[in-house]
Chains A and B, each alone.
Chain A
Amino acid sequence: GAGVSQSPRYKVAKRGQDVALRCDPISGHVSLFWYQQALGQGPEFLTYFQNEAQLDKSGLPSDRFFAERPEGSVSTLKIQRTQQEDSAVYLCASSLSGVTSEQYFGPGTRLTVT
């Protein structure tokens, strides 16, 4: 079966532009996670959904970051007025149930802000 997919795989944005990153989780997976990974660093947690409910957004670095999962399946991470420090790989993961379950990661979207 298909794994977690993310699109686009690469995104170049000029500083100040808005971007939207898409995640298609594994069908039937209740939980969805977003992480930010800077070069040479481990993934940093951004936010967590259980179905359509955003249960944890404590990792979102600023109010320019917004995530949604309106129908409990596909999720979008939106970054407004991008800044250079937003350049990173954004990883999406899904799990069958809850935060302790095995997470299945997508390939990530590499965002470069120029």
Chain B
Amino acid sequence: LAKTTQPISMDSYEGQEVNITCSHNNIATNDYITWYQQFPSQGPRFIIQGYKTKVTNEVASLFIPADRKSSTLSLPRVSLSDTAVYYCLVGPTYSGAGSYQLTFGKGTKLSVIP
């Protein structure tokens, strides 16, 4: 089971770059790393997904070192609207017996300060 560990909370000023790291020491060969953003009273929203090296889209970058035991979500120039909880999801790890073990961590609460 690829358990994930993230910082509980982070603060950042508007306009700064924010990096949130997720540790997943037991990641399996077939696991992907996916990040989601969640605002209060809403369901999570997909941000980015990667397997190795670096992935970039219009909102974020995802850095994954060669050993894949951690990953870093990078949000460029955050604004107040980026205040949310960010979850790192590692998987799926098919364990056999019909279990894909999709496991979200506890998330990182990002607070952007004006």
Contact = CB atoms under 8 A, between A and B. Distances in A.
Interface stretch (B12-20, B60-68, B73-81, B97-105): B97-105
B98 A56 contact: yes
Nearest to B94: A99
Contact of A91 (B34, B43, B92, B106): B43
Given A48-B100, A102-B49, A43 B32 contact: no
Interface stretch (A12-20, A64-72, A79-87, A104-112): A104-112
B43 A100 contact: no
A7 B91 CA distance: 28
A52 to B, nearest CB: 15
Interface in B12-48: 32, 34, 36, 41-46
A105 B102 contact: no
A35 B105 CA distance: 13
A12 B2 CA distance: 35
Contacts of B43: 4, 91, 93, 105-108
B102 A99 contact: yes
A57 B98 contact: yes
27 contacts: A4-B43, A35-B104, A41-B106, A42-B104, A43-B44, A43-B87, A44-B104, A45-B100, A48-B100, A48-B102, A56-B100, A58-B100, A91-B43, A91-B44, A100-B49, A102-B34, A102-B49, A103-B36, A103-B44, A103-B46, A105-B42, A106-B43, A107-B41, A107-B42, A107-B43, A108-B41, A108-B43
Interface of A: 4, 33, 35, 41-45, 48, 55-58, 91, 93, 99-100, 102-108
Interface of B: 32, 34, 36, 41-46, 49, 87, 91-92, 97-107
**9 shortest interchain CB distances as A-B pairs:** A105-B43, A42-B104, A58-B99, A99-B92, A102-B46, A45-B102, A43-B104, A56-B100, A105-B44
Given A42-B105, A43-B44, 13 more contacts: A41-B106, A43-B104, A45-B103, A45-B104, A58-B98, A58-B100, A58-B101, A93-B43, A93-B44, A99-B102, A100-B32, A102-B49, A105-B42
